Amino acid sequence: MQNRPAIVAVGRTRFGEHYGKEPEKLIEEAWLAASKECNLERKNLEACYMSDCFLPITNKLGLEEGFLSELTELHVPMESTRSFSAALLAACHAIQAGTYNTVLVGGIEKMTDRWDKIRDDLMLLEDPWSYYAGGTPEANHELMLRAYIKKHGLTGEDQDKLNLALAEVSVKNHANATKNKYAQYQRKITVDQVLKARKTAHKPLGLLDFAPITDGASALILTSEGAAKKLCSNPVYVLGIGSATDYLNYPAREDLTHFVATQIAMKSAAEKAKTALAELQVVELCDQSTIMELVSLEDLGFCQPGTAWKSILEGCQNGQNFYSVSGRELYVNTDGGLKADGNPLGATGGAQIFEVYRQLRGEAGERQVKADGGSPKNGCVLEFEGFGTKAYVSILGEKKN
């Protein structure tokens, strides 16, 4: 990749219920945090890329770029997408093309304001046929779990271990979130609580297996290599981004046990980044449910199909905060993931990148990962739109020659 885009600063709000804050205030908080971090003045921004998914529904805003223009008092080009990773991809292309040198990428969502309204829209977003059949947003996750068990022939003790591994995913992410001041849920949970929630719901996945609805905002400053050297002594480079798309109707896909879009996006990102799996030490996965974190480990290539639950159990049951993968340590969702950090759709990817950026720079505080005696060198972010309908994989790290 020529002229690799560089992230020189990040900012975000705390995730949670922000009834008392307008969406403009949330994105302003995130943008100002990023700009102050690298001492960037508004006049230096050449363009803005913004993401939100349901903001026009929940807050009746149709031109989000307009209020961002008011906040920054700029009239530069501004575009809007549905996910933070989509906005980042567009910004990277503009940087690589030489169109801009310094841009703002931001994401905002206020989901709790109109939860009763967007519930239906979330169902349609994942699968309209399930919606008309009375399905819920959780239905596809449960269908994936059942298909996974059937395909890999998990019965008896192995099936019990799989269910336990999924509970451990939730417990691990909540434990990580207790060290994240921005997280929506900063409290620990137990395996017994996860299992009890499933029993109460009479379903294979319960309340504590799913990410919450969330309000929040995130932002980053993306620059060209030349501009990065003037703003930051140790930027984090976007080594490669891959994206792929799958059928909207999940039950119509050829294999219900994984996301083919993730596999394609990962292959594309790794080729561009010239980075091997073994070089990735911290990973932020899109854990809208515990089964999605497990499946993503396999789709990205860290674990062989049907085996991720073994790596999860080996790590979590030994009191570790990492998964044991091919004899090495893989740190996953160190900020708490969507499960505990929160999932404000348009801003989620920004929080994921925020975490990997902090880890690679050694700025994650209590959550800091130690790799070979120092900070990790490379990390990976996976973000979805819909239920694996669109996948974005971003590989971040040190510049490679």
Q: Which residue has the higher pLDDT, 356 or 374?
A: 356
Is 62 a member of any domain? yes
Strand order in the sheet with 328-332: 78-81, 47-51, 102-110, 215-223, 6-12, 236-245, 390-397, 378-385, 282-284, 328-332, 323-325
CATH number, domain of 56, equals: 3.40.47.10
Is 194 a member of any domain? no
Is 218 a member of any domain? yes
For residue 43, count other CB atoms closer than 10 A to its CB.
10
Asked if residue 400 has pLDDT above 70, the reply is no
Is 84 a member of any domain? yes
DSSP class of 278: G
CA separation for the pair 259, 255 (Å, rounded):
8
The neighbouring-strand residues paired with 284 are 381
Q: Three-state DSSP class for 101? A: coil
Can you give the pTM of this predicted structure? 0.95
What are the structure tokens assigned to 360, written together? 């690679």
Is 175 a member of any domain? no
Range of the domain at 87: 6-115+213-231
- Summarize pLDDT for 102-129 with one digit per residue, the tens: 999 999 999 988 777 776 666 666 566 6
Which of these, 16, 13, 45, 18, lies nearest to 29 by C-alpha position?
A: 13
Is 196 a member of any domain? no
Spatial contact of 50 and 78, defined as CB atoms under 8 Å apart = yes
- Summarize pLDDT for 307-341 with one digit per residue, the tens: 999 999 988 877 778 898 888 899 999 999 999 99
Mean pLDDT of the chain: 92
Supply the pLDDT for residue 60: 72
Supply the pLDDT for residue 70: 84
Is 25 a member of any domain? yes
Domain count, the chain: 1
Is 31 a member of any domain? yes
- Summarize pLDDT for 49-83 with one digit per residue, the tens: 999 988 887 777 767 888 788 888 889 999 999 99
